[in-house]
Amino acid sequence: MDIQGSSHPRASAQRLEADLRVLTEDIGVRLAGSQGEEAAARYLLGQLGQTGARVHAESFPMRERHVESEELEILLGGSWQPFPGSLFSNTPGTGGQWRQAPLVFFEAPAEYHRPDLSHLKDKAVVHLGCHIESREHYRRLMDAGPAFLLFVDIRYPGTVPLADGMFPAYTDALGAVPTVNVAYMDAWRWKKEGAAAARLRVRGGMREAESQNVIAEFPGTGPEILLVGGWQPRSGEVRR
């Protein structure tokens, strides 16, 4: 941005590309509440400060997704086979212990119209549909008592689990079980080959942390407010 009558650097495609490379390549993964996010906030404060803007950061408490390891195995053809998975934010791990259960498929949102979901109790539930349509659906899912959940984004027939999260307002009020995103094509194979059971082990989960909003005020006469947001996937992941 070029402020009239000043020597502050002018915005350009080259400058924007250089900033993006620092954020995505030098700093890298910037999950909310992480050291990477904090480094990105410091960088933005410095860069925005060079434009002559009044800049500051405001911090707020939140929970950081902090997973040390995650292992998912499916019982296919009489043997346990490993598959990738990505723990949802705002859901717990398994305390580093294996959690094993019979595997069932649940076709959301249609099956939420069933009057009774007790058949999901103590099961590894392959949830076909990556969105909870309502708080009431989530309440019924938690009341059913599944052992853990394996969510599938049925809009994306890919081979890589997508990063995702559960609404914190739901999990705070209604509880949560370990919830992992799995690849569409893996779930397809489980159904096709008659997978019998699943077991999951996740070390880590959520922990208390702080995040930041970076605020820059540019001198001017108008009331315009510009909000800029972004996300950074982990290596190999795709997010909507």
pLDDT digits (tens, 9 = 90+) for 84-107: 999 999 999 999 999 999 999 999
Distance CA 93, CA 152 (A): 18
DSSP string, 182-194: E-HHHHHHHHHTT
3 state SS of 71: strand
Query: What are the structure tokens assigned to 141, written together?
Result: 């899912």
3-state SS of the chain: helix, strand, coil percent to 5?
25, 30, 40
**Using the 8-state DSSP alphabet, how is residue 89 labeled?**
B
Count CA atoms closer than 13 A to 22's CA, side-chain side: 14
For the question of whether the overall pTM of this predicted structure is more than 0.85, the answer is no
pLDDT at 175: 96
pLDDT digits (tens, 9 = 90+) for 104-127: 999 998 999 999 999 999 999 999
Helix, strand or coil, per DSSP, at residue 22: helix
Question: In the prediction, which pLDDT does 239 show?
Answer: 41
The DSSP 8-state label assigned to residue 194 in this structure reads T
pLDDT in tens, the chain (240 residues): 444 445 566 778 888 899 999 999 999 888 888 889 999 999 999 998 888 889 999 999 888 888 899 999 999 999 999 999 999 999 999 999 999 999 999 999 899 999 999 999 999 999 999 889 899 999 999 999 999 999 999 988 999 998 888 999 999 999 999 999 999 999 999 999 999 999 999 999 888 889 999 998 887 767 677 676 655 444 344 343
Domains of the chain: 64-207 (3.50.30.30)
Residue 141: per-residue pLDDT: 97
